[in-house]
Amino acid sequence: MEKWLVGIDLGGTTIKVAFITLDGHIVEKWEIPTNISEYGKHIVSDIAQSIDAKLDQLSEKREKLAAIGMGAPGFIDMKTGFIYHAVNIGWRDYALKEELEKATGLSVTIDNDANIAAIGEMWRGAGDGEGNLLMVTLGTGVGGGIIVNGHIMHGTNGMAGEIGHITSIPEGGASCNCGKSGCIETIASATGIARIATEKAGEDPSSTLNEVLKNNGELKAKDVIEAAENGDQAAIDTLDSVTFHLGLVIANLSNSINPGKIVIGGGVSKAGHILMSRLEKEFKRFALPRVAEGATLTVATLGNDAGVIGGAWLAKHNI
Amino acid sequence: MEKWLVGIDLGGTTIKVAFITLDGHIVEKWEIPTNISEYGKHIVSDIAQSIDAKLDQLSEKREKLAAIGMGAPGFIDMKTGFIYHAVNIGWRDYALKEELEKATGLSVTIDNDANIAAIGEMWRGAGDGEGNLLMVTLGTGVGGGIIVNGHIMHGTNGMAGEIGHITSIPEGGASCNCGKSGCIETIASATGIARIATEKAGEDPSSTLNEVLKNNGELKAKDVIEAAENGDQAAIDTLDSVTFHLGLVIANLSNSINPGKIVIGGGVSKAGHILMSRLEKEFKRFALPRVAEGATLTVATLGNDAGVIGGAWLAKHNI
């Protein structure tokens, strides 16, 4: 009997779950809402019940499942699967691995949500099996994951891959949620792009972005990208500035970790060519020639499935 | 019979060789000149003869030796021990591992010279066994090595750890040997420190550095450090500027790779407190609090022995 892996990607509003074959193909995937009431105490039983219900629906037994791999937000001890603190979920000092193993009878491996997305892209996505990979996720914030020789890099206390807080503007940059200022997250996240474009539109009355601002009360990153595609100078200047800083960050990091693939994911990556062509130019400008030669810069391909697929990889490698 | 490991550190002018116990203690160390005549064709036989002569002198036989680990400069294929090009030695497309195995009858493992110094410091030096370590060597240039989970990080084509070419000044920085400009090597190397101090002294007629310049025709990094210790403002400004850039580079890299130890080596690290206290301040300013908490910044302790000890570690882990 060919077994299935269970990949789980826990977010603040939904939990993505999938049954996945040993070679990384999704058999079945679904979502359940994240019940954060009572400090998240129902989450584990919700997951276990949902897995059982899905097995019933597919006329399969618990024995069909080999193991669970799960991505969770917050500070995690990856070895023990212990969550120190997950702000959006409400967990504090929570033995997630142990509880989920008890509830499902399956072996569970936990990692950071950004890391499992990176390993998912390595295994079945844009990473194309390349074992040295840098994943950069441009969403509300800027996240990341680093894969070294096919394994997730954790660092000494689980902070490896947190590339959003690399300082791009050492003096006078915008304030960041982390308490510092000038982090790349304040520039290359959707929020950062909107902020910079709002500033640039303010200095340029001819920009079409001012119309959008007037109508919607705010700019979103996708408004900026759309305006840039239509030739709006303030929007183009915004993307030039964003890709200058992000290209420099990625090149500097690549000069040290020498990835074979650099995968750009998250909502902002949907901008496609107008973003990626500029990013590649700046990356090549600041990377050592041999480092640039070794690296392919590419857009993530798994979208919202990266997490569950990465979870399945975790499960597989810990059976 | 307790066997010995052979650590070899190949430089452009001397070859350092040592017999080292399995737990990393040096039994005997010596140097031979690097004979770069005839494209380095004598180097391997020089090493083999020198090892035999030393064994004779110690009344030991070849069987006493377990394996050889060697650091070499240039572009190396670490798996095959093949040297693509080592400018200072004269080798091009040279099968170093194979040749040295033939000449000595011992198993040989080759790695980059900066990497073996990093692993040496991890094993027996300032790294104190910490498996996630960043080594930064401040010499004529700026080199480095990254250790992840106790193993040397190589990256996709052997460039990992080349931190000297991280861009610190994206526009208008000094030209670098690599062809780019504004690399941290142009700022934090001995050469960079001397260059910046010469500029600053030129703007400040009261600086004592002008006297040194007049007497010696040039400044050296140690003149700058000495002047800073004596309160010379141009020298202090130089160290402030150097540590600002270097602290930012190290913090940015640490925000991504999350090392437990950051070891500063090379000639410039001998400056000690006046450099390290400034560097630590800038590092803490730009590192995420949890990253700074996890990392100890410290001066290398093995000096010139780091390479042979790292070589022995390589030999041990490949027996």
Give A170's pLDDT tier (boundaries 50, 70, 90).
very high
User: Does residue A86 have a pLDDT over 90?
Assistant: no
Check residue B319 and give its pLDDT: 82
A148 vs B148, B159, B255: nearest CB: B148
Give B107's pLDDT tier (boundaries 50, 70, 90).
very high
User: Does residue B75 have a pLDDT over 90?
Assistant: no
Is B171 an 8 Å CB contact of chain A?
no
pLDDT in tens, A123-165: 999 999 999 999 999 998 999 999 999 999 999 999 999 899 9
Percent of chain A with pLDDT over 90: 92
Is A158 an 8 Å CB contact of chain B?
yes
β-bridge partners, A135:
A145, A263
Average pLDDT over residues A92-116: 95
Spatial contact of A312 and A5, defined as CB atoms under 8 Å apart:
yes
Q: Beta B65-72 vs B108-112: how paired, if at all?
A: parallel
Check residue B26 and give its pLDDT: 98
Mutant choice from A156, A281, A288 vs B, greatest count of B C-beta within 10 A:
A156
In this structure, what token pair is assigned to residue B112? 């980059």
In this structure, what token pair is assigned to residue B199? 């500029």
Report the side by side order of strands in the sheet with B14-21: B26-33, B14-21, B4-10, B65-72, B108-112
User: Does residue B1 have a pLDDT over 90?
Assistant: no
Contact across the interface for B257 and A146, Cβ inside 8 Å? yes
Q: Beta B4-10 vs A296-299: how paired, if at all?
A: unpaired
Question: Does residue A202 sit in the same domain as residue A268?
Answer: yes
Helix (H, G, I), strand (E, B) or coil at A282: helix
Tally of domains within chain B: 2
- Higher-pLDDT residue of B162 and A213 is A213
Question: Does residue B170 sit in the same domain as residue B106?
Answer: no
User: Does residue A1 have a pLDDT over 90?
Assistant: no
CA-based nearest residue to A278, from A256, A303, A246, A249 = A246
Is B150 an 8 Å CB contact of chain A?
no
Check residue B90 and give its pLDDT: 86
Contact across the interface for A155 and B258, Cβ inside 8 Å? yes
User: Does residue B274 have a pLDDT over 90?
Assistant: yes
Question: Does residue A69 sit in the same domain as residue A152?
Answer: no
Give B314's pLDDT tier (boundaries 50, 70, 90).
very high
Give B226's pLDDT tier (boundaries 50, 70, 90).
very high
- Higher-pLDDT residue of B61 and B87 is B61
Contact map slice: B 174-213 vs A, CB within 8 A: 178-180
Contact map slice: B 49-78 vs A, CB within 8 A: 75
Give CA–CA dist B48/B184, Å, rounded: 38
Give B88's pLDDT tier (boundaries 50, 70, 90).
confident
User: Does residue B189 have a pLDDT over 90?
Assistant: yes
Contact across the interface for B260 and A156, Cβ inside 8 Å? yes
pLDDT in tens, A107-127: 999 999 999 999 999 999 999
Percent of chain B with pLDDT over 70: 100
Q: Beta A261-265 vs A296-299: how paired, if at all?
A: parallel
Question: Does residue B80 sit in the same domain as residue B205?
Answer: no
Average pLDDT over residues A258-275: 96
Contact across the interface for A256 and B166, Cβ inside 8 Å? yes
Q: Which residue range is the domain that position A111 belongs to?
A: 4-120+305-317
pLDDT in tens, B279-299: 999 999 999 999 999 999 999
pLDDT in tens, B10-66: 998 999 999 999 999 999 999 999 999 999 999 999 999 999 999 999 999 999 999
- Return the residue matching tokens 């062809």: B179
Question: Does residue A142 sit in the same domain as residue A286?
Answer: yes
Give CA–CA dist A238/A298, Å, rounded: 21
Check residue A264 and give its pLDDT: 98
Spatial contact of B141 and B186, defined as CB atoms under 8 Å apart:
no
Q: How far are the Cα atoms of B214, B224, B317 from residue B207, in angstroms, in the given order?
A: 12, 11, 52
Domain holding B65: CATH number?
3.30.420.40
Q: What are phi and psi of A13, to 5 degrees?
A: -115, -35
Question: Does residue B35 sit in the same domain as residue B101?
Answer: yes
> Among all residues of chain B, which has the CA nearest to that of A156?
B260
* The one-letter amino acid at A240: D
B-chain residues near A156 (CB < 8 A): 130, 132, 258-260, 294-295
B290 vs A157, A249, A260: nearest CB: A157
Question: Does residue A157 sit in the same domain as residue A199?
Answer: yes
Q: Quickly list H helices, chain A.
A: 37-40, 43-57, 96-104, 113-124, 185-188, 190-202, 209-216, 221-229, 233-257, 273-286, 289-294, 306-317
In this structure, what token pair is assigned to residue B268? 């410039």
Question: Does residue A165 sit in the same domain as residue A264?
Answer: yes
User: Does residue A250 have a pLDDT over 90?
Assistant: yes
Helix (H, G, I), strand (E, B) or coil at A83: strand
Spatial contact of B261 and B298, defined as CB atoms under 8 Å apart:
yes
A155 vs B132, B155, B252: nearest CB: B132
Q: What are phi and psi of B91, to 5 degrees?
A: -75, 140
Give A222's pLDDT tier (boundaries 50, 70, 90).
very high
Question: Does residue A190 sit in the same domain as residue A260?
Answer: yes
Average pLDDT over residues B181-194: 97
User: Does residue B103 have a pLDDT over 90?
Assistant: yes
Contact map slice: B 104-143 vs A, CB within 8 A: 130, 132
On the CB side of B13, CA atoms within 13 Å amount to: 0
Check residue A27 and give its pLDDT: 98
Check residue A104 and give its pLDDT: 97
Report the side by side order of strands in the sheet with A151-152: A151-152, A142-148, A133-138, A261-265, A296-299
Check residue B54 and give its pLDDT: 98
Question: Does residue A245 sit in the same domain as residue A313?
Answer: no
Check residue A88 and give its pLDDT: 80
In this structure, what token pair is assigned to residue B198? 């010469």
Q: What ipTM, to 2 d.p.?
A: 0.93
DSSP H or E stretch at residue B196? helix B190-202
Average pLDDT over residues A232-256: 98
Give A12's pLDDT tier (boundaries 50, 70, 90).
confident
DSSP H or E stretch at residue B197? helix B190-202
Question: Does residue A289 sit in the same domain as residue A203?
Answer: yes
Q: What are phi and psi of B150, to 5 degrees?
A: 80, 5
User: Does residue B95 have a pLDDT over 90?
Assistant: yes
Say how many C-beta atoms besides its own lie within 10 A of residue A288's C-beta. 21
Region label for B47, one of left (φ > 0), alpha (ψ between -120 and 50) or beta (otherwise): alpha
User: Does residue B79 have a pLDDT over 90?
Assistant: no
Check residue A283 and give its pLDDT: 98
Check residue A118 and give its pLDDT: 97
User: Does residue B122 have a pLDDT over 90?
Assistant: yes
β-bridge partners, A236:
none
Helix (H, G, I), strand (E, B) or coil at A127: coil
Give B7's pLDDT tier (boundaries 50, 70, 90).
very high
Contact across the interface for A289 and B179, Cβ inside 8 Å? yes
Check residue B145 and give its pLDDT: 96
Report the side by side order of strands in the sheet with A75-77: A75-77, A82-86, A91-94
CA-based nearest residue to B104, from B135, B150, B68, B54 = B68
User: Does residue A32 have a pLDDT over 90?
Assistant: yes
Distance from CA of B259 to the nearest CA of A (A): 6
pLDDT in tens, A44-60: 999 999 999 999 999 99
Q: What are phi and psi of B97, to 5 degrees?
A: -55, -50
For chain A, give the mean pLDDT: 96
Question: Does residue A26 sit in the same domain as residue A111?
Answer: yes
Give CA–CA dist B212/B223, Å, rounded: 8
For chain B, give the mean pLDDT: 96
User: Does residue A75 have a pLDDT over 90?
Assistant: no
Check residue A248 and give its pLDDT: 98
- Return the residue matching tokens 């084509």: B157
Q: Quickly list H helices, B157-263.
A: 185-188, 190-202, 209-216, 221-229, 233-257
In this structure, what token pair is assigned to residue A72? 């969770």
User: Does residue A308 have a pLDDT over 90?
Assistant: yes
Give CA–CA dist B266/B10, Å, rounded: 16
